[in-house]
């Protein structure tokens, strides 16, 4: 009787299964109360009422259940019910060392009963943990994406790579990639149905060699919306001229509704310094080095992408600028000691202009529509005026070359020991 009671309690509380052999009944003597000895283990027994007799699920239902009437009134919705707690979560298992605790971490069998039932090592040895971080650990970790594929919205769609477009008339779009920029839930009022909800997705398609397409699609599911958006984008491809296969031809500023995009070309190896949406656009167009600032509304990704696309399409080559102005385009660089290099001169059928230009004329102001860009002065922080900061600056100025000089000394053998500067 007591043994069955123990078994049920353990099942309820810890969900352990204990075979009969594992339990031994001590013969009853007069004057001595009944004892249960689980083979050198004294177990705590709780004499209770219903929870000893009932199943664990039934026990849980007693707290979690709501009547049908109550369910209709919303007493079961929005997390009002008590949560079922997994009591197995803290269960003893095989650790890294592979120790076995019969009766706790393993069921007690016939073989183990005859032998020592104390702590013993498993025959298989320690468990081998896989080094692959994706496979090890809980389910959450399994689904974790690589940082480069994660996008810019956590585990949501924006910024993630999606399936490439479907073939059109036998053309399979080789080398094309598609990215989702925006995904949201939109609604529309219809007379017969009332509010009708739909998914809206903005997708860019490109081949990293100058062809790029932008479009948006709607659908009842996200998958349907993505498919329509990618296929539409693939049919609206435009060619973008990339300067020296790494950057844009010149500076430009483009406004679309409330969003202004200001882009500047940069040297080889600079990288892309821009908004994550424009980063994807640049990558798909084949632009590697660029500096972009976005002013105005930064919430509407579609408008931002459109502004940038329009700016890219309106670029002029050096030859076109020279033809338009009727003068030569000349490049100066420090590396060449400012030796003038003519990039383009007006073609023969164009009228050459020898009239003097306006005093404040520069090529940048020409690209910005006769305006000059206002560069905000850097803010002086409050602590920069304090005496302590100036003192630190002075100390830093003193030591500015010491780390390099120390390495040079060590190379030349003048300072054999490595001593960190204080």
Partner 1 sequence: MAALRKNMHLLKKLNVVSSCVCKPASLKHLHTSAPVLSVGDPLHYFMRDDVQKILEELTGFDVKKTFYQRAQYANKEPNYKVLSDVELEEEIEKAKEIKARRLQMPPFMDIRKPKDDLLSDDPDIAPALTSKYVFIDISDNLRRIPVESKRNVVCRHEDGKLKVADWEQSDRVVRMYYPVAGRNVFIPKMFEEEQLEKILTHENYIDILERACVQFEPDSSDFIRITHRIYEHIAQNGDFDVLHCTRFYGPMVFYFAWFNKIEPLLMHMMNNDHLTSAVHLINLKCMLHKEPSKSGNLFMIIRDYCLGKVKKEYKKDLKIALNDLEKRLEIRAKRMESEAKESNKEKVTG
Query: Which residues of this protein are in contact with partner 1, per CB under 8 A?
Result: 265-270, 321, 325, 327-343, 345, 352-354, 357, 361, 363, 366, 408, 411-412, 414
Closest CA to 367 of 248, 247, 250, 243: 250
Question: Which of 298, 295, 274 shows the shortest CA–CA distance to 285?
Answer: 274
Q: Tell the smallest beta-carbon distance from residue 422 to partner 1 (Å).
A: 25
User: Least distance in Å: CB of 251 to partner 1?
Assistant: 10
Q: Return the number of the residue (66 or 410) whose C-beta is nearest partner 1.
A: 410
Residue 9 CB partners (closer than 8 Å, separation 6+): 45, 46, 48, 52
For partner 1, which is the closer residue by CB, 15 or 372? 372
**For residue 270, what are the contacts with CB-CB under 8 A and spacing of at least 6?**
289, 290, 291
Given a contact cutoff of 8 angstroms between Cβ atoms, the answer to whether 386 and 367 are in contact is: no
Q: CA 68, CA 252: separation in Å to the nearest integer?
A: 65
Question: Do residues 88 and 13 lie in contact, with contact meaning Cβ atoms separated by under 8 Å?
Answer: no
Q: CB of 147: closest distance to partner 1 in angstroms?
A: 27
Give the Cα separation of 283 and 285 in Å (integer): 5
State in angstroms the smallest separation of the CB of 352 from partner 1.
7
Minimum gap (Å) between residue 349 Cβ and partner 1: 16
Q: Please say which residue, 166 or 331, places its beta carbon nearer to partner 1.
A: 331
**In the complex with partner 1, which residue's Cβ is closer, 168 or 268?**
268
* Nearer CB in complex with partner 1: 148/418: 418
Cβ–Cβ contacts within 10 Å for residue 16, how many? 18
Q: Nearest approach, Cβ of 175 to partner 1 (angstroms)? A: 30
Q: Within 13 Å and on the Cβ side, how many CA atoms surround 145?
A: 14
CA gap 163, 146 in Å, rounded: 17
Q: Which is nearer to partner 1, 58 or 324 (CB)?
A: 324
* Shortest reach from residue 130's CB to partner 1, in Å: 43
Residue closer to partner 1 by CB (options 227, 288) is 288
Report the distance separating Cα 114 and Cα 103, nearest Å. 14
Give whichever of 120 and 365 is closer to partner 1, judged by the CB atom.
365
Cα dihedral across residues 166, 169, 175, 176: positive or negative: negative
CB of 78 to partner 1, least distance (A): 57
215 touches 201 (CB < 8 A): no
What is the distance between the alpha carbons of residues 294 and 313, in angstroms, rounded to a whole number?
A: 18
Q: Using alpha carbons only, what angle is made at residue 152 by residues 179 and 210, rounded to the nearest 5 degrees?
A: 35
- Token pair 């435009």 in the structure block, residue: 238
**Least spacing, CB of residue 336 vs partner 1, in Å:** 4
Q: Give the residue with the Cβ less far from partner 1, 47 or 338.
A: 338
């Amino acid at each position: 009787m007591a043994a069955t009671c123990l078994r049920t309690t353990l099942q309820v509380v810890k969900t352990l299964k204990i075979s009969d052999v594992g339990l031994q009944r001590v013969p009853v003597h007069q004057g001595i109360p009944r004892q249960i000895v689980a083979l050198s283990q004294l177990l705590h027994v709780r004499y209770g009422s219903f929870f000893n007799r009932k199943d664990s699920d039934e026990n849980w239902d007693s707290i979690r259940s709501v009547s049908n009437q109550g369910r209709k009134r919303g007493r079961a919705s929005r997390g009002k019910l008590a949560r079922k707690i997994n009591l197995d979560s803290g269960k003893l298992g095989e650790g890294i060392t592979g120790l076995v605790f019969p009766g706790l971490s393993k069921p007690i069998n016939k073989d183990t009963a005859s032998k020592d039932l104390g702590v013993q090592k498993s025959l298989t040895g320690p468990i081998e943990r896989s080094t692959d971080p994706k496979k090890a650990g809980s389910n959450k970790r399994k689904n974790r994406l690589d940082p480069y594929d994660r996008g810019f919205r956590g585990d949501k769609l924006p910024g993630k790579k999606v399936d490439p477009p479907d073939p059109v008339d036998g053309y399979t779009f080789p080398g094309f990639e598609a990215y989702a920029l925006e995904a949201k839930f939109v609604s529309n009022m219809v007379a017969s149905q009332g509010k009708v909800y739909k998914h809206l997705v903005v997708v860019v398609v490109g081949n990293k060699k100058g062809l790029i397409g932008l479009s948006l699609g709607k659908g009842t599911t996200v998958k349907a919306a993505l498919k329509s958006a990618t296929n539409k984008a693939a049919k609206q491809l435009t060619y973008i001229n990339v300067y020296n296969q790494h950057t844009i031809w010149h500076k430009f500023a483009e406004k679309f509704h409330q969003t202004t995009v200001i882009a500047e070309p940069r040297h080889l190896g600079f990288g892309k310094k821009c908004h994550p949406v424009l980063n994807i656009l640049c990558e798909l167009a084949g632009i590697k080095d660029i500096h972009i600032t976005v002013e105005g509304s930064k919430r509407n990704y579609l408008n931002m992408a459109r502004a940038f696309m329009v700016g890219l399409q309106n670029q002029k080559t050096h030859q076109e600028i020279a033809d338009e102005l009727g003068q030569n385009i000349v490049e100066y660089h420090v590396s060449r000691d400012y030796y003038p290099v003519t990039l383009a001169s007006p073609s023969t059928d164009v009228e050459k202009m020898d009239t003097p230009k306006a005093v404040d004329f520069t090529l940048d102001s020409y690209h910005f529509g006769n305006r000059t860009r206002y560069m905000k002065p850097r803010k002086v922080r409050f602590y920069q005026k304090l005496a302590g900061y100036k003192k630190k600056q002075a100390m830093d100025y003193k030591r500015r070359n010491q780390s390099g000089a120390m390495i040079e000394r060590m190379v030349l053998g003048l300072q054999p020991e490595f001593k960190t500067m204080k």
